[in-house]
Amino acid sequence: MGNPIVLGVDTGGTFTDVIALENGTLTGFKLSSTPPNFEAAVLEGARTLSRSAQHTLLHSTTVATNALLERKGAKTALITSAGFRDVLEIGRQNRPCLYDLFPRRAPGLVPGHLRFELPERVAADGSVLTPLDLSTLPDIIQTLREHRVESVAVLFLFSFLRPDHERTLGAALEAEGFSVSLSSEILPEFREVERGSTTLVNAYVAPAMGRYLSRLKQGPASRLHIVQSNRGCMTPERAAREAVHTLLSGPAAGVVGAMTVARAGRHNLNLITFDMGGTSTDVALIKEQPVITTRHTLGGFPVGVPMVDVHTVGAGGGSIASVDAGGALRVGPESAGAAPGPACYGRGDQPTVTDAHVALGHLRPEAFLQGRMTLHPERAREALARLGQAMGGLPAEESARDVLRLANLHMESAIRVISVQRGHDPKDFTLVGFGGAGGLHSFSLAEALGMTRVLIPAHPGVLSALGCVAMPLSFETAQTVMWRWEDNTPGQLTALLRELQADLFARCADDNIATDSLTVSVTLAMRYAGQSHELDIPGDGDPGGLLERFHETHRQHFGHCAPDEPVELVTVRLRAETPPPQIRLPGLPERAPEDPPLSVKNGCVRREEIRRGDTLKGPLILTEDFSTHLIPAGWTVTPDAVGNLLGTREDPA
């Protein structure tokens, strides 16, 4: 009997990517997504590559993200401490458009008539000021039923210190058939706005995720794991309860995939990842490890669970180009998606970024998706000609070039957000372009940013699916403590870490995970006394060196530190993960003396014809089954031992 098949599946708005690992061999496959029933494409791709045999399925999904961004989540209510029903509506009073004279605020997830209060109060030290009073709960439940509420978020003040009140209420609501999210379980940390917003988002998207996973579990997979936003996997049962952890599931998989192939090719892990799909583009920065943040905002809602620090823009291959009322060209954020898709796919009629590439000859019909999808260049040119007429009579080719220039500006801005605005020079990094459209833009973006290295990864069109296969199972817990470091914090910290690890291991055991195989890492949120925000400091190793690491990290971020000022330890976070799967990318053979030389036809090279020792010079078009790469003049491309291609150019400076 052969080794079990492991499948990685990444669902995007336009395409679903599948990769299979069997007996050390990787096989990729790409098919159109099937909104709104995304599981249909997932199961079809899994059946195609597993041949319907039993397999392990590791899946990154956009179900929770789409439910939040499209406002298609569950009808949700909020129950909170007396006097605090409007805390999330008030928020931090931040103004995203400070000088907008006519600001429009998007409505919240819960209207006022579905926000309820109960008498209870826990003090900042965890003591009970007012016991929980459930005498009005029957009336609240009656109102919930009248309004057909499906899910309830529970947010009590300081519940992260004393969760008893939330647990009591949660049990009562679950007994009545409601889906319940408790803030003391979803995000047991201080700051009630962020904790409450995260809990409310979870309550809003969890029912949709639960239904989706129920349908997905009807497939032939023997085990199913869901990718989290923090570069780890979770069981489907936990994903259904804590769906907020999957909001950046796909981008996290792409980051892990980029690290996997770069490490296999022995490249420096200072990377900027550039994942351009059909609907959007995700960029992230890696300095040996991905940057993790607990201060992310999605759809206008703060989300405090750990996530890979990804910046997303609405620019993808399917982004629609149009002319606004003032006559200016716009590209995105509206997308043609999988249906009807770009004009060149044969059904849509609106011009997109993909149509611009087809009209300019960058995408070759004979090399697109293994020939399984027919491209219609004449439809692309017609759509772009109509766009050109709206811009003053430009020919189709000129309007196509304008569309690509504007799309590149959007994506260049996104890369600057995660590099320059974080204090990093893009020149110090290698740009890794992947996704269905990443290779069409990565070299031109590198030139615009002054970067001199571009990595074309192995399996670029399905790299996020490869990242799913490379994911470990992970578990996290946290506790806000608010300790002054001078008050014997190292001793307190050791005791707390033992307690948190025991709790974490108990959760792992509930999911049938052997705890003796787990690796535990610690992150400490620290700040100077009086500051409003913290810095995350790796807490592994000698506790006595933590202060020095904090001062140095503060200096790196802000240009100064204050060693004589008192320091607070705010929050302690633990992460436990299983050993990552061992993936060996197949080696790229060398070109033997008897082999014919590399063939370049009409400015195109097929990737499968490249061998170790070959050197490619731009300008040329590199085609493969699920991706196309534009290599401009001035770039030299060489393969590494596992088939990644490294593009280099001399620094123009």
User: Looking at the predicted structure, is the pLDDT value of residue 1 above 50?
Assistant: no
Together in a domain, 181 and 76: yes
Residues 402 and 478 in one domain: no
- Is position 110 within any domain? yes
Structure confidence at residue 226 (pLDDT): 95
Q: What is the mean pLDDT of residues 374-401?
A: 91
Of 426-435, 483-492, 534-543, highest mean pLDDT: 426-435
Give the pLDDT confidence score for residue 371 in this predicted structure. 62
Query: Tens of pLDDT along 351-383?
Result: 999 999 999 989 877 767 656 678 888 999 999
CA pair distance 272, 455, nearest whole angstrom: 10
Locate all alpha helices (DSSP H) within 463-602, ordered by sequence. Answer: 463-469, 489-510, 546-558
**Domain check: are 78 and 172 in the same one?**
yes
pTM (two decimals): 0.88
Cα 537 to Cα 549: distance, rounded to the nearest angstrom: 7
| pLDDT tens column, 37-95 | 899 999 988 888 887 677 889 999 989 988 998 889 999 999 999 999 999 988 887 77
Burial annotation 538-575 (CB, 10 A radius, 16+ → b, else e): ebeeebeebbebbbebbeeeeeebeeeeebbbbbbbbb
**387 & 490 share domain:** no
For residue 652, what pLDDT is reported? 62
Same domain, 382 and 499: no
Residue in this structure with the two tokens 């994911």, named with its chain if needed: 471
CA dihedral for 96, 102, 105, 111, sign (positive or negative): positive
Kindly state whether residue 297 falls inside one of the protein's structural domains.
Answer: no
CATH code of residue 532: 3.30.1490
User: What's the Rg (C-alpha) of the chain?
Assistant: 26
Any domain includes 301 = no
**Residues 84 and 183 grouped into a single domain:** yes
Tally DSSP H helices, then E strands, for the chain. Answer: 16, 34
What pLDDT score does 370 carry?
59
Final residue in a domain of this structure, among 577, 592, 622: 577
One domain for residues 84 and 194: yes
Q: Is the confidence at residue 511, as pLDDT, over 80? A: no
Q: Are 413 and 366 in contact (CB under 8 A)?
A: no
pLDDT greater than 70 at residue 653 = no
pLDDT computed for residue 148 by the predictor: 97
Please give the share of the chain, as a percent, with pLDDT higher than 90.
57
Q: Report whether pLDDT(214) > 70.
A: yes
Co-location of 105 and 185 in the same domain:
yes
Q: Inform me whether the pLDDT recorded for 261 exceeds 80.
A: yes
Highest mean pLDDT among 428-442, 485-499, 578-592: 428-442
CATH number of 81's domain = 3.40.50
**Does one domain contain both 399 and 527?**
no
- What is the pLDDT of the chain when averaged over all its residues? 89
Q: Are residues 482 and 560 in the same domain?
A: yes
Nearest to 204 by CA among 233, 179, 176, 236: 179
In a domain, 491, yes or no: yes
Examine residue 302 and state whether it is found in any structural domain, yes or no.
no
Is the pLDDT at 465 greater than 80? The verdict is yes
- Residue at 514 is within a domain: yes
Diameter over CA atoms, the chain: 86
Q: Please indicate, yes or no, whether residues 73 and 179 belong to a single structural domain of this protein.
A: yes
Please identify, among 550, 577, 604, the residue that sits at the C-terminal boundary of a domain: 577
Domain-ending residue, one of 155, 187, 210: 210
Count: domains in the chain: 3
**Token pair recorded at residue 624:** 């493969």
Range of the domain at 156: 69-210
Q: Has residue 104 been placed in a domain?
A: yes
Query: Among 343-347, 493-497, 579-583, which stretch is predicted with the lowest mean pLDDT?
Result: 579-583
Model confidence at 543, pLDDT cuts 50, 70, 90, reads: low
pLDDT tens figures, 571-623: 999 999 988 877 888 889 998 888 888 888 888 899 999 999 899 998 999 99
Q: Check pLDDT > 60 for residue 2.
A: no
295 lies in some domain: no
Residues 87 and 202 in one domain: yes
Cα 210 to Cα 182, 223, 300, 441, 573, distances in angstroms:
17, 16, 23, 37, 27
